[in-house]
A = this chain, B = another copy of it.
Amino acid sequence: MAAAATTWFPTSPASLNSKGPACPTQNRAANFTIRCNAQKPATLSFTKTEHEPHAIYSSVKTFAPATVANLGPGFDFLGCAVDGIGDTVSLKVDPDVHPGQICISDISGQSPNIHKLSKNPLWNCAGIAAIEAMKMLGIQSVGLSLSLEKGLPLGSGLGSSAASAAAAAVAVNEIFGKRLGYDELVHACLKSEEKVSGYHADNVAPSLMGGFVLISNYEPLELVRLKFPSEKELYFVLVTPEFEAPTKKMRAALPLEIGMSHHVWNCSQAGALVAGVLQGDLLMLGKALSSDKIVEPTRAPLIPGMDAVKKAAIEAGAFGCTISGAGPTAVAVTDDEQKGHLIGQQMVQAFQKEGNLNASANVKQLDRLGARLISGVRSN
């Protein structure tokens, strides 16, 4: 049954923190589900889908990795993906969901503030990105239900919302035969990021594409893959304290104007960072990562102990250390996993000693794949 190409918006949108309605399979009241609109934004040229694509899978499971954005002088335009931690989405064709609509059936995970996530797809990162992907594909005849497994803590600076969005957008794309390219998937996820943290692709692009991604333009979207040499090792030491550093507050701390000498310095470090990545030169990469004179100096004082944590990381042998995203996670880089654990211990101790904060450390490799299909059940 083909639904009319119109969008249904809820008459009174729930707040970002509300859980929203249950899935139609649990509760048929569909006040908060959305009908996808085949109409595409006028300014974007998406893949033409003259015919609505068929579902290739009846269900899929996808994973999207955590990301480290900013990377010191890479503020707001550079990010990379981190393997082994991320969000997982299970998405299935659901005859109980109205065609062209999506519902969120379940959200699970260990994050203490996971109850803040809404099941209303209009107010959930995964939901928003999935809806956008469905719009782009022109899905009108199939209803989907989505289950989100949060592997990432919320508001930690590891791109949690981006990973949910990326996993969901990729899940929709996989079910319908992978017709969307990265540009379109990034756009779908940007709709979600726009709602929660601003129109920035420095988390969603690397979560989708893997590795390091530089965003050089938004209109039109221009994504530059920065290939870290395949023969080189790169480990991230991610140390997350029990502390909330809301993106909004961290953005409010930024200076509005920057002096020319600091501007030139940061630009040169951004260039050196890119060179460090492309040449696989961890010494250069780490130095540049550590060298931000603009953003980190305003944010670090808002995270208790951060300066000491950075110092501890460098003293323990890290090539560099900075704040991941808007924080509070601190990220250090090294070329050796074992050394990474030792660096992590020193950073955890510094958070405890200087910031009076409990913290946990993870040592993770660069993710070179990005959001991906984990499993799928083919349609008959």
Contact = CB atoms under 8 A, between A and B. Distances in A.
B294 A263 contact: yes
A260 B255 contact: yes
A245 interface: no
B272 A216 contact: yes
Interface string A157-174: 000000000000000000
A216 to B, nearest CB: 4
A264 B76 CA distance: 7
Contact of A270 (B222, B255, B257, B271): B271
A117 interface: no
A362 to B, nearest CB: 27
A22 interface: no
A153 interface: no
A204 interface: no
Given A256-B260, A275-B226, A279-B278, A268 B214 contact: yes
Interface string A256-274: 1111100110111111111
A352 B274 CA distance: 39
Interface string A63-76: 00000000001111
Contacts of A75: 264, 267
A contacts with B: majority SS:
mixed
A263 B271 contact: no
A4 interface: no
A326 to B, nearest CB: 14
Interface string A224-243: 10100000000000000000
Interface centre among A215, A258, A273, A274 (most CB of B within 10 A): A274
A265 to B, nearest CB: 8
A288 interface: yes
A310 to B, nearest CB: 18
Nearest to A78: B271
A205 interface: no
Given A224-B275, A259-B256, A279-B278, A268 B73 contact: no
A29 interface: no
